[in-house]
Structure 1
Amino acid sequence: MSGKKILLLAGDFVEDYEIMVPFQALQMVGHEVHAVCPEKEDGDRCKTAVHDFRGDQTYLETRGHDFALNATFADIDPADYDALVVPGGRAPEYLRGYDEVLDAVRHFFDEGKPVAAICHGPQILAAAGVLDGYEMTAYPAVRAEIERAGCSWVDEVTVDGNLVTGQAWPDHPEWLAAFLDVLGTEISHEPAAAAADD
């Protein structure tokens, strides 16, 4: 199976784990991932935030890493990509205000291409008006927005057609595995003994 070309949406104070982990994991299995942000270019950086769950009524936010973009949003054409990843954090609340972001998201849904969204990422999908009729999840505080967008809420990682959703970064193993399945990614491991004989 040849690798897919995947677009990943970024913005300042995107959730650190939710951008770093899929960006690296999807490349690790052979996909090409372009991380882009409106008004930023290839090589520019986005500040990230780490959201931790420590028993409070909501998450605690601390400063994360600087994430380097590897493509320029103004230069990309969504038609050139096979799939879309929409991480969470604080970035979605303002990225959904960019018409060009919403247009890009609509392309993936209009074409039935795989889309993976996690945590607050579905705020962008709701703003794009593409969620009516889907069964999905998101960060629980976003549930009201998701339901008003016409979705049925599920309290776990969910796959509905082309859409794969998770609640937050603790869902990464199941969320990414489901996304790889929707992408048609096959991962094979050569047995250690066979590798030693080569």
Structure 2
Amino acid sequence: MTSVIRKVFNNFSSGLADFKNRYKLPEEFHSSQELKIMHISDTPESIYSHIYKMLNYSQPDVIIHTGDLVDNLKLEDAGSEIIPLYQKKSAEFISNLEKLTSARIIYVPGNHDDISIIKDNTKRSEVVVEGTIIELDGVKIGLAHYPENLPQKADINLFGHNKKSEFESKNKYLNGILNINYLLLPSKTDYKVNYPWTVDQGRQYKSFNMI
């Protein structure tokens, strides 16, 4: 092995080890025979590469995105002038996810999404509306972008949009804007992995409480 190749290999190995240490999931998750769920939300394009790495690392069976696929592009605020760019970036993201994994992929469009564009760019992914309940391994999963639009009587609720959301309930409420959520089903065991610290900058938040 030449010195150049050895250096590249060592740098790659070091970077991979650092990534796994920083965004580590416990061995019990990796070795589990249960259904593995990955939940993300409000994703600016600056963290796409991180999501792809986490996808490869965690190998989920189902990926659920609860809205705002290109969260650095604020469709609700900016209007039609950024739609072509949103269409391009969201299409790339959707395509990459479908190529990188055989997992089932489910999107719940958010307030900065265009549902027709998402549907046009999916080949095998599913697009559902807020308030939908899906059942995975006998567990009812409630889906929404806005927490107030979550359905009733779900065992686990997945959402995004608002960092301030709090619930008093025996059921699980997992906010995908705060971190990447992982679930094992049917046990309902959940794990949280941080986004990169630059995520809110990518979302163009002026403060940590902004939505």
- Work out which of the two has the higher radius of gyration on C-alpha atoms and give 1 or 2: 2
TM-score of the alignment, normalized to the shorter chain, above 0.5: no
Which structure has more relative contact order (CA 8 Å, sep 6+)? It is: 2
State the TM-score, normalized to the length of structure 1: 0.36
State the TM-score, normalized to the length of structure 2: 0.34
